[in-house]
C-alpha cells in the first residue's frame, strides 16, 4: 500500500517521539545513544531523508582524531557566535547520527542551527551520505585501524570513495601529509582544501612507528620517498616516477613548540592546551574546516583555540598516592598507541607504563593481533615497569616479550579490583595507555581515585 503524505508525516512524528523518549530514558540510566537510533531506523529506515538543514553540514572522519577534531570545530564555531549541533560523544555510526539529528530537529524535520558538525565512521559514511546533505567533508588520515573490522586501509579508502561519489559537490578538506587518503580528491568535482604541518622536533627521517602503510606510490606503485615522517606514513613525500607529491597547503602548521604548547598556522600564532603531534595536526585541520566553511578568520580561531580542552575521558591527569597519573585513551590501532608511547617517553621523569587491553566489547571482537604492530621495542631501557591490565593482559605481556622487553620489568594483572595493589608495584609517574574503548576504563579511575 502506498503511504500518503499524511501517513508519512505521522510516521515521522512517531519516530521522532520514540527516539527522544528512548534518549531521555537512556540519559536517566546512563546509557549511550545507539539504541534510540536503532529503534528509530527500524520504524522508519530512511527517516534522515526527511531532515532539512537550514545551515551548513560539516562531516569529519579518519582513523584517528575524529571525536577531538569535530568537537574542536563545533567549539570554535560556537565561540564565533554560531549555533551548532554535533554528536559530541562520538556516536558516529548511522544510528548515532540519527539520534543527533532527530533530537536536534523541529517536528517538521527542520534543523535551524547555523552548522551541523558530525563525526562519522569511515566505513559508515557511504550509508549516512545516502540520506543527508553534506557541504564539507574533512578527512583526517587513513591508518591501519581495527583490522578485524576494517581490514586493510585500502578497503576503507574504497568505502570513502563511494561516500564521496554520492555527493561530488561537497568540498573536501584533506591532509596533504597523508599519501593514502589524498587520491580521494579524484572522486570530487571541486579542488580540495589542503592542511599540512612542517617538520617538527619529533619528526624523523625514517618511519619508527610499528606500521607504514604507504611504502609505494598509490598511483604508479613505485617506491614512495619521504623527506620526513611525522608518524606512521604521514609526512612530506614524493614519487620520482610519476611526480605524486605533497601538495601546496592552504593551511600550514609551522614553528611547532611542544613545550610551550603553541603552533603557527599560516603565520598566525596559536596557543593550545596540549602538546602531542596528532593534536597539533587536529588544530590545523580544525582551522582549515572552520575558516573554509564560515567567515571565521585565522585570527579569530587563534583567539579561542587556547581555551579548548580535550574531553576528560580521552585525556585525564590526576594523582595516585602522590604520583602523577596520565590516562590516555587510544584507538584500537598501532598508530594511536605508538603516539602515546612517544609522548610518555618524552617526559623527563622516572616513569612506568600501563597497557590496558580488552576485547572490543561492543563488537565482541576478540582478536588483538593488531597489538603486534605497536613499536613496543622503544620502551626497552626507558621505563621502570610495564604493567599489563585488562582481559587481555597476558596477550599484552607476550607482545612485550616478543618486542624484546626484559620480562623482569613486566607486571600483569587482569583483576581490576586489584588495580591499586598493581600500581603500587610500579615506580615513578604512571602513563596509562587504555587501548580499548568501552572496556571498563572507568573502573580503573574509580579504583585509583578512592
DSSP class per residue in 67-108: HHHHHHHHHHHHHTT--EEE-TT---SHHHHHHHHHHHS-TT
Higher pLDDT, 249 or 368: 249
Q: How far apart are CA 247 and CA 44, in angstroms?
A: 44
- Average model confidence (pLDDT) for the chain? 87
Q: How far apart are CA 351 and CA 359, in angstroms?
A: 26
For residue 269, what pLDDT is reported?
A: 96
DSSP helix/strand/coil, 289: helix
For residue 25, what pLDDT is reported?
A: 86
For the chain, the structural domain boundaries read: 51-305, 315-449
Decide if pLDDT at 73 tops 50: yes
Give the residue from 246, 331, 253, 330 showing the smallest Cα distance to 286.
Answer: 253
For residue 2, what pLDDT is reported?
A: 43
Q: Is 51-305 in CATH node 3.40.1190.10?
A: yes
DSSP class per residue in 390-429: STTHHHHHHHHHHTT--GGGEEEE--GGGHHHHHTTS-SE
Decide if pLDDT at 433 tops 90: no
The pTM for the full model equals 0.85
Q: How far apart are CA 214 and CA 221, in angstroms?
A: 10
DSSP letter at 246 equals P
For residue 1, what pLDDT is reported?
A: 42
CB-CB contact of 52 with 82 (8 Å): no
Residue range 315-449 forms a domain whose CATH class is: alpha beta
Amino acid at each position: 500500500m502506498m503511504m500518503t503524505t499524511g501517513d508519512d508525516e505521522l510516521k515521522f512524528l512517531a519516530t521522532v517521539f520514540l527516539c527522544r523518549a528512548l534518549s531521555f530514558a537512556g540519559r536517566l540510566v546512563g546509557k549511550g545513544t545507539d539504541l534510540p537510533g536503532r529503534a528509530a531506523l527500524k520504524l522508519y529506515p530512511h527517516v534522515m531523508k526527511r531532515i532539512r538543514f537550514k545551515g551548513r553540514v560539516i562531516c569529519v572522519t579518519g582513523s584517528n582524531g575524529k571525536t577531538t577534531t569535530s568537537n574542536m570545530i563545533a567549539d570554535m564555531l560556537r565561540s564565533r557566535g554560531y549555533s551548532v549541533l554535533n554528536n559530541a560523544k562520538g556516536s558516529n555510526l548511522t544510528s548515532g547520527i540519527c539520534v543527533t539529528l532527530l533530537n536536534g530537529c523541529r517536528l517538521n524535520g527542520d534543523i535551524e542551527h547555523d552548522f551541523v558538525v558530525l563525526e562519522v565512521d569511515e566505513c559508515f559514511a557511504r550509508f549516512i551520505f545516502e540520506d543527508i546533505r553534506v557541504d564539507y567533508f574533512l578527512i583526517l588520515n587513513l591508518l591501519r585501524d581495527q583490522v578485524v573490522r576494517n581490514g586493510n586501509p585500502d578497503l576503507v579508502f574504497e568505502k570513502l570513495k563511494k561516500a564521496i561519489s554520492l555527493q561530488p559537490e561537497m568540498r573536501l578538506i584533506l591532509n596533504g601529509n597523508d599519501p593514502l587518503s589524498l587520491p580521494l580528491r579524484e572522486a570530487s568535482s571541486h579542488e580540495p582544501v589542503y592542511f599540512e604541518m612542517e617538520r617538527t622536533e619529533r619528526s624523523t627521517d625514517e618511519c619508527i612507528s610499528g606500521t607504514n602503510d604507504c611504502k609505494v606510490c598509490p598511483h604508479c606503485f613505485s617506491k614512495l620517498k619521504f623527506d620526513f615522517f611525522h608518524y606512521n606514513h604521514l609526512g612530506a613525500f614524493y614519487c620520482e616516477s610519476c611526480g605524486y607529491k605533497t601538495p601546496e597547503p592552504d593551511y600550514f602548521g609551522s614553528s611547532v613548540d611542544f613545550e610551550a604548547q603553541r603552533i603557527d598556522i599560516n603565520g598566525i600564532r596559536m596557543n593550545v592546551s596540549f602538546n602531542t603531534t596528532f593534536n597539533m595536526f587536529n588544530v590545523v585541520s580544525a582551522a582549515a574546516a572552520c575558516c573554509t566553511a564560515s567567515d571565521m578568520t585565522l585570527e579569530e580561531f587563534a583567539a579561542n583555540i587556547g581555551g579548548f580542552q580535550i574531553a576528560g575521558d580521552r585525556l585525564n591527569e590526576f594523582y595516585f598516592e602522590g604520583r602523577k597519573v596520565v590516562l590516555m585513551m587510544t584507538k584500537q590501532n598501532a598508530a594511536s598507541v605508538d603516539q602515546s608511547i612517544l609522548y610518555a617517553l618524552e617526559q623527563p621523569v622516572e616513569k612506568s607504563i600501563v597497557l590496558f587491553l580488552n576485547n572490543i566489547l561492543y563488537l565482541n571482537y576478540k582478536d588483538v593481533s593488531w597489538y603486534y604492530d605497536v613499536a613496543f621495542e622503544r620502551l626497552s631501557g626507558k621505563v621502570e615497569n610495564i604493567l599489563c591490565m585488562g582481559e587481555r593482559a597476558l596477550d599484552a605481556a607476550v607482545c612485550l616479550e616478543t618486542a624484546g622487553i626484559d620480562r623482569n620489568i613486566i607486571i600483569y594483572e587482569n583483576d581490576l579490583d586489584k588495580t591499586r595493589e598493581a600500581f603500587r608495584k610500579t615506580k615513578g609517574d604512571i602513563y596509562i595507555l587504555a587501548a580499548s574503548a568501552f572496556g571498563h576504563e572507568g573502573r580503573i579511575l574509580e579504583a585509583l581515585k578512592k
